[in-house]
Structure 1
């Protein structure tokens, strides 16, 4: 429909998407499969490597298969992971979530580099999707009633782009969210994550291992080409101004604190040059839409990386929005805004549930206080004793849906009450 006219002048696209991260590319992919004319704008000209968004859940894999993205990821040697395992510092098991028990076509996780995931999404964009890099969106266009009707770009490419709808996929500090009058209040956790990418590593098992230790959380999982990702929880100023001698001492102390990392000791020291220090936030926007505009991905929500839900929730946002817009006359503003409100109604409760689940998991595994550590390990051990609870937690982590834990479930986890259905597995 590009080039036709709306009430305010020529329309250059049905939908303008601002931001070409996972949320923006997934939205473009999903909308393009419905034949919707999309213009995808990204301010960066190239993609810097970043240690985020590397683990895809079964729910996302089902969507990516439908979009033609999954075969490309598998062709580029994505790694299948069967389990999420919480372990003590010595490597002994606290709780295992086995995705092979789920009733789904793809009962596993998939890991790959964030940039590769973006490239595979971009490679699956349909013929109705146009993309432009190096374009900074500075402002929203509005009609006389305040409805969003497009965007204004800045820098050396100043122009007005009119569209029937605008999607804000411009991340946690979303400019478009603010311009549209929507809010989100990112809250920083009291720790950060230090990321390592280790090359030439010994083989590791096909799982995401999270070590729950007195010093905080350590997460380890394999990446393609015999690499391993390691995240280490650190205090905000733990390594401030540390020189190489101090960093090597820190690595040795880490292995002393977490003996299960012993086989990686030398590789951690060798990988100090690859480290990235990542801030960690949690938030969700109480509203996802205004007339003519919707939020997707990190413009709408953010969770602790521990539960690997952020990227997967963004992919779910894209699929839900595309299904609401498919078949709607996008030139009918009332129908379009009704579809956007339906998207908000569908996703907002799901986002809240995912936020709550992720935050609870983070508190359980990252607490460094004595009471917090004891409580977290008790909850993990209590869940491990019940096959029913293990299955429910695995399902919730999978991206297939959310079955929130009730008050009785929490008491079962704590061991206050016996779970008389602990051997049962929820109906599939």
Structure 2
């Protein structure tokens, strides 16, 4: 169910984008400030039924705690016991493990969980509606300064006023473009092939990432005999792979997965997504805040993209709710400056780190050096614990 735009003429907060990031922020703020908050999410996609989506996200402990606290944790979330990393060529007979990251010992919790994106979006939408968030199947086409806030226009000609506009409208963010926030961005010569797979042998709940010459090839557990595939491959090769029929595609996956999974077959839709790097020069504008892909897009090799987005959600909702409780203007420059300071450094650091890892593993000339480095990390308990704590969101 979506809300009539006429019911949202005067808002405290408007959110552009009804993906998991936008819905999570709306729900988080609605839960924090209660029914008196005038809050709406705008996205034409709200009028369309959800299409089949092959993607799943690996969610770290802090993201899981946020979603559980919001009552939006999907029932089918699959625990990930650990991560095994190999570095090899496609035709290597053996793929030795250079680094293993297990669940943090002190928590008794899994390393992470895998969640289907479609299930998470549906759960967030359901909980947001129950919390009184208005869901409007219209696009915000312009925004401009107005006394005490912003004047927003919709694609149907409607006009809305809001004290704060949150851009959760993706990497090509129209809000960010209109606000003239510059970005540092470039395209990788890679495409991510994603699919849900059934396999004969159990994965033991362990995620596996093979660093192959074409790019990282990850099998992420969705159950003992089901995995989410995230296969980053050179653009031209990925185009050829995407054009294969299901049986031929499965055979190519088997070749790269190695013998540990046995026979592999497709268990649902598959997709292909060009990979890019993007970092906004600022995460805020005049009464505007960027979250998720509107602010940063990182290479999926570390599985941290959506975790970064959930940390944006947690920080911005806490800062806005705190300002509201103190009677302050939560769209003011000082309030949004606190969000910028809280989030941009971590996002920029992780973006640089993932890009550096991509370039390190893309070069055959650095193979010996990186394998020695991973081996040393695997044998250094203190350093390994710190890496596990960071990767698992602790």
| Category of TM-score, reference length = shorter chain | 0.7 to 0.9
Instruction: State the match for 1:175 in structure 2.
Output: 174
Q: Residues of 1 paired with 2:349 and 2:244: CA distance?
A: 44
Instruction: State the match for 1:344 in structure 2.
Output: 340
Secondary structure, aligned partner of 1:68: coil
Residue 110 in 1 paired to residue 97 in 2? Answer: no
Displacement of 1:274 in angstroms is 3.4
Q: Residues of 1 paired with 2:245 and 2:68: CA distance?
A: 46
Instruction: State the match for 1:153 in structure 2.
Output: 154
Deviations 1:21-56 (A, max 9, x none): 121011101111122321011121233233445211
Secondary structure, aligned partner of 1:123: helix
Instruction: State the match for 1:309 in structure 2.
Output: 304
Unpaired segments ≥5 residues, structure 2: 1-7, 89-93
Residue 17 in 1 paired to residue 20 in 2? Answer: no
Contact 2:378 2:384 in 1 (8 A): yes
Instruction: State the match for 1:424 in structure 2.
Output: none
Contact 1:148 1:291 in 2 (8 A): no
TM-score normalised by the chain length of structure 1: 0.79
Instruction: State the match for 1:127 in structure 2.
Output: 131
Q: Residues of 2 paired with 1:376 and 1:150: CA distance?
A: 52
Cα gap change, 1:191 to 1:261, in 2 (>3 Å): farther
Q: Residues of 2 paired with 1:231 and 1:189: CA distance?
A: 15
Contact 2:201 2:261 in 1 (8 A): no
Displacement of 1:239 in angstroms is 4.7
Deviations 1:120-167 (A, max 9, x none): 22233253421123x1221113237xx86042111xx22111111100
Unpaired segments ≥5 residues, structure 1: 1-9, 401-428
Cα gap change, 1:166 to 1:93, in 2 (>3 Å): same
Task: Looking at secondary structure, tell me which structure has more strand per residue.
Answer: 2
Residue 27 in 1 paired to residue 25 in 2? Answer: yes
Instruction: State the match for 2:314 in structure 1.
Output: 319
Cα gap change, 1:374 to 1:158, in 2 (>3 Å): farther
Cα gap change, 1:164 to 1:205, in 2 (>3 Å): same
Contact 1:201 1:228 in 2 (8 A): no
Instruction: State the match for 2:367 in structure 1.
Output: 373
Q: Which moved more, 1:200-209 or 1:346-355?
A: 200-209
Residue 40 in 1 paired to residue 44 in 2? Answer: no
Displacement of 1:362 in angstroms is 2.9
Contact 1:329 1:336 in 2 (8 A): no
Cα gap change, 1:43 to 1:245, in 2 (>3 Å): closer
Cα gap change, 1:242 to 1:307, in 2 (>3 Å): closer
Displacement of 1:100 in angstroms is 2.9
Alignment of 1:14-413 (within 5 A): 14-35=12-33, 36-44=37-45, 45-70=48-73, 73=74, 76-89=75-88, 90-101=94-105, 103-104=106-107, 106-125=109-128, 127-133=131-137, 135-143=138-146, 149-154=150-155, 157-199=156-198, 201-223=200-222, 226-240=225-239, 252=251, 255-256=254-255, 259-260=258-259, 263-265=262-264, 267=265, 274-329=269-324, 333=329, 336-365=332-361, 367=362, 369-400=363-394
